[in-house]
């Protein structure tokens, strides 16, 4: 077992003293800089929710966001992936480099918002989006994941490519360790696939289960083609096998039972070889990024990953092996919008100092349920959660925020 936590003993979630105490779980609200800058009441309003921390975006993908209480605007269009602080000189002369934001978050928008949030008594942690960047794919197409049909995913940088890995590692360190930040949450630190919610997405006509998503996420860029070769696979034969395996899905006649379906369609040895290549690339990138953050950060700086305990899953919550990732990072942020069950595999491998943050959507219009937050938090705690994450303080309506205040009171 490698990483900063290697060799430390683990206790089950049920035995962890800090998860079983009587006090409320520490809560943090996700926030964009534009929710705070230009609104003198925003920081105090967020603090009044009862949260102790704000998880503030320092590097983020393109988005269009409502700002229902801001005195100057109601809609912010972040046109491309960007950083919300001034770049340092590490990027001088490099082809792959972050883009500054446009007028939606100019200058040091992160720093201005962080200062206001700290002034309201909140701890501030950075929120950093990594391998999800349409601007990078548009300007440097060769960096993108390429599926078995030859289609590029410009939103999904291939994490096996050396230049991309170096870019992501340096971005993680720079964006995470902003002045005054006490920790970071690294999102999309792993493979990305077809899932994106791209502008005007029209991909829902055929239902893709876990097996379909995995097969559509397999990358065939030059780096990955060579990588499959190191695992004893011929890339052309693999691509043909993937296309054949997907054909019943396009006709609407395929079944999808997750990983067993991948093994059945590709054959167990081939399926395992694809995982060996992809899992190895994800793990070494995650190790490198966490190590780079820690090298740049002050003592006690907390490093969390947004993570899914099903290791072959792709997306913003990177699929990981729970025991392994908790030996590398200080903890994980776990998606709980669909229920709290994903906490259990992490809790089984948690140490007494591991952070297991249960992430709940509290925006009713985005499928969240702030009215049930208290009950959801209690259930999360029973399953080992030590903290809460609330998505998202800037997007929620006044009614949603009132429900959050009541739940956290």
pLDDT tens per residue across span 259-272? 999 999 999 999 99
Per-residue tokens: 203: 């991909």
Q: How does 228-239 read in b/e, with b if 16+ C-beta sit within 10 Å?
A: beebebebeebb
Across the chain, mean pLDDT equals 93
Helices (H), 177-234: 210-217, 222-230
CB 23 within 8 A of CB 387: no
CA distance 240 to 242: 5
Burial zone of 75 (CB within 10 Å; 0-12 exposed, 13-18 middle, 19+ buried):
exposed
Considering only residues 20 and 375, tell me which one the structure prediction assigns the higher pLDDT: 375
Q: For the chain, which domains are there?
A: 13-205+301-408 (3.20.20.80)
Q: Is 56 helix (H, G, I), strand (E, B) or coil?
A: strand
Burial zone of 156 (CB within 10 Å; 0-12 exposed, 13-18 middle, 19+ buried):
buried
Q: Is 127 helix (H, G, I), strand (E, B) or coil?
A: strand
- Residue 206 reports pLDDT greater than 80: no
The 8-class DSSP code of residue 363 comes to -
Structure confidence at residue 353 (pLDDT): 96
Structure confidence at residue 96 (pLDDT): 98
Q: Which stretches does DSSP call E strand in 262-329?
A: 302-308, 318-319
Place of tokens 């700086």: 301
Nearest CA to 345 among 325, 328, 360? 325
Nearest CA to 194 among 242, 145, 238? 145
Structure confidence at residue 19 (pLDDT): 46
| Residue 45 burial (CB count, 10 A) | 17
CA distance 297 to 302: 9
Main-chain dihedrals φ then ψ at residue 294, nearest 5 degrees: -65, -35
CB 157 within 8 A of CB 196: no
Question: What band does 200 get if pLDDT is binned at 50, 70 and 90?
Answer: low
Burial zone of 89 (CB within 10 Å; 0-12 exposed, 13-18 middle, 19+ buried):
exposed
Nearest CA to 32 among 394, 398, 377? 394
- Residue 2 reports pLDDT greater than 70: no
Average pLDDT over residues 197-219: 83
CA distance 188 to 180: 23
- Residue 318 reports pLDDT greater than 60: yes
Question: What band does 207 get if pLDDT is binned at 50, 70 and 90?
Answer: confident
**pTM score:** 0.94
pLDDT tens per residue across span 93-122? 999 999 999 999 999 999 999 999 999 999
Nearest CA to 137 among 118, 154, 120? 154
CA distance 15 to 352: 8
CB 26 within 8 A of CB 53: yes
Structure confidence at residue 17 (pLDDT): 40
Cα distances (Å, whole numbers) of residue 61 to 56, 194, 195, 316: 14, 16, 14, 11
CB 217 within 8 A of CB 318: no
Structure confidence at residue 15 (pLDDT): 44
Dihedral angle sign, alpha carbons of residues 391, 86, 90, 183: negative
Q: ∠ at Cα 181 (286, 67), nearest 5°?
A: 95
Structure confidence at residue 251 (pLDDT): 86
């Amino acid at each position: 077992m490698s990483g900063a936590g290697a060799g430390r003993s683990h206790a089950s979630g049920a035995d962890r003293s800090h998860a079983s105490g009587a006090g409320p779980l520490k809560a943090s609200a996700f926030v964009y800089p534009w929710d705070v800058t230009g609104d003198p009441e925003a920081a105090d309003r967020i603090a009044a929710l009862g949260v102790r921390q704000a998880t503030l975006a320092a590097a983020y993908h393109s988005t269009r966001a409502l700002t229902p209480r801001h005195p100057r605007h109601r809609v912010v269009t972040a046109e491309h992936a960007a950083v919300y602080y001034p770049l340092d000189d590490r990027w001088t002369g490099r082809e792959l480099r972050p883009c500054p934001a446009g007028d939606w978050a100019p200058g040091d928008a992160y720093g201005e918002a962080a200062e206001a949030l700290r002034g309201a008594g909140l701890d501030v942690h950075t929120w950093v989006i990594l391998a999800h960047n349409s601007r990078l794919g548009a300007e440097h197409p060769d960096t993108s994941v390429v599926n078995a049909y030859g289609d590029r995913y410009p939103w999904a940088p291939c994490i096996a490519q050396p230049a991309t890995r170096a870019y992501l590692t340096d971005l993680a360190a720079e964006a995470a360790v902003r002045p005054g930040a006490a920790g970071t949450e690294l999102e999309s630190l792993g493979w990305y696939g077809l899932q994106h919610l791209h502008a005007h997405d029209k991909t829902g006509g055929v239902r893709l289960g876990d097996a379909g998503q995995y097969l559509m996420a397999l990358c065939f860029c030059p780096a990955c083609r060579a990588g499959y070769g190191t695992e004893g696979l011929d890339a052309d034969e693999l691509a043909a096998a993937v296309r054949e395996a997907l054909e019943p899905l396009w006709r609407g006649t395929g079944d999808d039972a997750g990983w067993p379906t991948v093994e059945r369609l590709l054959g167990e040895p081939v399926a395992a070889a694809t995982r060996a290549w992809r899992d190895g690339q994800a793990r070494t990138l995650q190790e490198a990024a966490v190590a780079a953050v820690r090298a740049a950060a002050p003592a006690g700086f907390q490093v969390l990953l947004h993570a899914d305990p099903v290791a072959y899953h792709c997306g913003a919550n990177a699929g990981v092996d729970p025991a392994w990732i908790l030996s590398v990072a200080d903890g994980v942020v776990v998606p709980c919008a669909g229920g709290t069950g994903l906490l259990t595999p992490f809790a089984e491998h948690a140490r007494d100092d591991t952070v297991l943050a249960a992430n709940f959507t509290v925006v009713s219009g985005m499928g969240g349920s702030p009215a049930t937050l208290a009950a959801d938090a209690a259930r999360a705690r029973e399953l080992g959660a030590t903290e809460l994450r609330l998505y998202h303080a800037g997007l929620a309506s006044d009614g949603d925020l009132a429900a959050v205040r009541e739940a956290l009171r």
